[in-house]
Amino acid sequence: MRLNDPQVTSFTFEGEEYSIDLAFDNVLDVFDVLEDEYLRDYEKAEICLALLLGVDIEGMPAVDLWNYVFPNFIEIENKQPIEYDRKGNPMPVVNDHKKMIDFNKDAEYIFASFRQAYGMNLFDEQGSLYWNEFQSLLNGLPSDTIMQRIIQIRLWEPQKGESSEYKQAMRDLQKVYALEDEEVDE
């Protein structure tokens, strides 16, 4: 995201110009389609393009176009800063991409956090708040919001000096707020 660039409302792919609707609620609908285990990949591509572009494209052209649209306009990047040792050499990157947010499971917490932090009703913003704006606001939520607290709970790991009561309370909270594909260490 660059603040001096206009919002993306169209793009050109293989000489063809397409309009694109990147409203956050539309993109969340795309994620719902991507999670549907009963659809084939090419069907997901066709449906997602219909949602975003408002056009029906079928078969391999849909897959090729989707393979351009997803990484360029939708994919959420988790960039880790490069850490260096004392000699200035880059440290090995730990590829621990733990999922912190589930847009479906955490919807009410995201809504409440946006309301608390920004006074924003996300239902009123449907169709107008762009995906990259939504991501920026979500990433910038203050630490006193429920969504940030839940993320802290999900990422918590026991530390020396913490009481056994605190550790047990945090493990219990991790079970309450665990995402379906997570397991809480005992």
Task: Tell whether the model's pLDDT for residue 2 goes beyond 80.
Answer: no
Average pLDDT over residues 141-169: 90
Lowest pLDDT segment from 4-8, 12-16, 69-73, 155-159: 4-8
**CA angle (12, 17, 18) in 5-degree steps:** 100
pTM for the full predicted model: 0.79
Give the separation between CA 17 and CA 14, rounded to whole angstroms.
8
Query: Could you state, in order of their start, the residue ranges of all structural domains in the chain?
Result: 10-74, 107-177
Give the separation between CA 186 and CA 179, rounded to whole angstroms.
16
Q: Which of 12, 64, 31 is nearest to 131 (CA)?
A: 31
The number of beta carbons lying within 10 Å of the beta carbon of residue 36 is 11
pLDDT score of 4: 78
